[in-house]
Amino acid sequence: MEIIDGKALSEKIKDDIKLEVDTLRDDYKQVPHLAAVLVGDNPASKAYVRNKVRSCEKVGFESTLIQKDSTITEEELLDIVRDLNENDDVDGFIVQLPLPKHIDEHKITLAIDPEKDVDGFHPVNFGKMTQGLDSFLPATPLGILKMLESYKIETEGKNCVVVGRSNIVGTPMSILLSRKAYPGNATVTITHSRTRDLRAILKTADIVIAAIGIPNFISGDMLKEGCVVIDVGINRVDDETRLKGYRLVGDVEFDSAKEVASYITPVPGGVGPMTVTALLLNTLKSTKKKLNLTE
Ligand code: NAD
């Protein structure tokens, strides 16, 4: 069994990004600029955004954090999005989800200029992805593709079971793994809360992508010998022995799954850091596109 070290891989990719940023600064007097909009004080969202801003600094990007109280109106937030769309200094931006209930997330996503939508959530980017056209891929699935690629994990003809059908992870992941490319060409089954006999379906899986949001939901006895396990879940569980009073666990029970799997991602240190790095890759791509430097 090999652990897929998302933390180490993301550091390596960030080193490569930094080199490209140095070249852009030297040759074009420009560095990528990512802006993040954070609404309210959800602790997980705050931690994610902090992480994204810190990663920008690490690779030499410019970053802007726009923080707003949860009382902000939908129209005020739309104004911020429009300003960012029009700001030529900003190459890409994200509006951290979830948003307060009185704000329509779809409306906000639709208002983002697809050319700056580095989260890859806008239907224009989603549609392009579905048709195999060049686009910003959603950050978490892009990070997972990079992991599969880097560990040279064969996907062609493999049975892949994606658990969870969210727009940001499960659904795009299932599309990307079934496309005619590497990583891809897999036979994909997408499962969800209404799936019957998930256990039997999982037993057929050469590759499992778990994006459910239920701690330790999938245990080793549900998996096929030698399968590849990609655990997207980030769940807080109470832990009195930790200073913070909690620890993070995935959707897969790591200790039992690692006895069965050929490759497995840990939580933390697996998909999480790769998601942030994928966001940086998309922002770099946006800057290069602006400078007509895309391959
Ligand atoms: P979501 O809540 O939008 O969707 C959860 C999915 O799980 C749904 O499609 C639902 O049908 C499915 N599901 C629920 N119960 C199920 C069951 N009993 N059997 C099968 N499927 C079931 O989730 P999301 O936004 O995709 O996030 C999933 C998890 O991944 C969460 O823990 C989230 O924190 C984490 N996440 C991590 C990253 C990262 O960077 N590592 C990024 C995004 C999300």
- Rounded mean pLDDT, 117-141: 97
Q: What is the pLDDT of residue 37?
A: 98
Closest Cα to atom 21 of ligand 1: 192
Sequence ranges of the chain with CATH classification 3.40.50.10860: 28-113
Give pTM, 2 decimals.
0.97
Q: Which fold has domain 28-113?
A: Rossmann fold (3.40.50)
Q: Tell which residue, 172, 214, 213, has the closest CA to residue 190.
A: 172
Q: What is the pLDDT of residue 149?
A: 98
User: How remote is the CA of residue 27 from the centroid of ligand 1, in Å?
Assistant: 42
Sequence ranges of the chain with CATH classification 3.40.50.720: 139-272
Give the helix ranges, DSSP H, for the chain. 6-28, 43-59, 74-86, 105-111, 123-130, 139-150, 170-178, 198-202, 254-257, 271-290
Q: Tell which residue, 63, 1, 2, 15, has the closest CA to residue 277.
A: 15
Q: Is 30 an annotated catalytic residue? A: no
User: How remote is the CA of residue 62 from the centroid of ligand 1, in Å?
Assistant: 31
- Mind listing the pLDDT tens digit for each residue in 139-188? 999 999 999 999 999 999 999 999 999 999 999 999 999 999 999 999 99
Who lines ligand 1 at CB under 6 A?
Answer: 140, 163-166, 168-170, 191-193, 195, 198, 211-213, 232-235, 271-272, 275
- Mind listing the pLDDT tens digit for each residue in 185-232? 999 999 999 999 999 999 999 999 999 999 999 999 999 999 999 999
Q: What is the pLDDT of residue 294?
A: 76
User: How remote is the CA of residue 20 from the centroid of ligand 1, in Å?
Assistant: 34
Band of residue 295 on the pLDDT scale cut at 50, 70, 90: low
User: How far apart are the two ends of the chain, measured CA to CA in Å?
Assistant: 36
Q: What is the pLDDT of residue 92?
A: 98
Sole residue written with tokens 């459910």:
212
Cα–Cα distance for residue pair 45/272, rounded to 1 Å: 13
Closest Cα to atom 35 of ligand 1: 233
Q: Which fold has domain 139-272?
A: Rossmann fold (3.40.50)
Read off the tokens for 34. Answer: 């990512």
Beta strands 228-231 and 207-210: pairing type?
A: parallel
Nearest atom in ligand 1 to the alpha carbon of residue 275 is 40
Give the side-chain half-sphere CA count within 13 A for 124.
Answer: 10
- Rounded mean pLDDT, 95-118: 97
Flag whether pLDDT at 19 surpasses 80.
yes
Flag whether pLDDT at 49 surpasses 70.
yes
Q: Is 255 an annotated catalytic residue? A: no
Q: Is 119 an annotated catalytic residue? A: yes
Task: Provide the 3-class DSSP secondary structure of residue 167.
Answer: coil
Q: What is the pLDDT of residue 207?
A: 99
- Rounded mean pLDDT, 278-284: 98
CB 241 within 8 A of CB 192: no
Closest Cα to atom 1 of ligand 1: 166
Cβ partners under 8 Å of residue 172, min gap 6:
120, 126, 129, 137, 138, 141
User: How remote is the CA of residue 15 from the centroid of ligand 1, in Å?
Assistant: 30
Q: What is the pLDDT of residue 21?
A: 98
Nearest atom in ligand 1 to the alpha carbon of residue 251 is 32
Task: Provide the 3-class DSSP secondary structure of residue 266.
Answer: coil
Beta strands 228-231 and 263-264: pairing type?
A: parallel
**What value does the mean pLDDT of the chain take?**
97
- Rounded mean pLDDT, 76-89: 98
